[in-house]
Amino acid sequence: MSHPVDEHVGKKLKNLRVLRGLTQTDVAKGLDISFQQVQKYELGRNRISASKLFEISRILDVPPSYFFDGLNEVEETGGPVLDEETARIASVISKITDERLKTQIRSFIDAVANYKPAA
């Protein structure tokens, strides 16, 4: 059984990797490990050592503390950090360079999210 902290760190790793547009293989090469090991980290099946987490944080350009952000909220709600589809959408939107277009897309997403059909 995975520990909730390992699952949280793994979800943060996966979400950030997807957001950065990297594959498990890309991260694995930077760490000199197999992509299967990265997959196990992301699923929380294998615990990430402090030294490996430090290496991961350098590859993904975040402080090691990033992986623990929101940990209390997850413990309290039991909810995921960010689901895979949301991370994928965020990754796609982050590649758009036109700020005006990004603003319009965010407005559209807000409108759809708040849409309430007539009763």
pLDDT tens for residues 22-73? Answer: 999 999 999 999 999 999 999 999 999 999 999 999 999 999 999 998 887 6
Output the pLDDT for position 82: 61
- Domain presence at residue 101: no
Angle between helices 99-113 and 84-94 (to 10 degrees): 150
* pTM of full prediction above 0.75: no
Domain that holds residue 9: 4-83
CA angle 30, 80, 6 (to 5 degrees): 50
Give how many domains the chain has, as a whole number: 1
Asked whether residue 73 is domain-assigned, the answer is: yes
Report residue 79's pLDDT band, with 50, 70 and 90 as the boundaries.
low
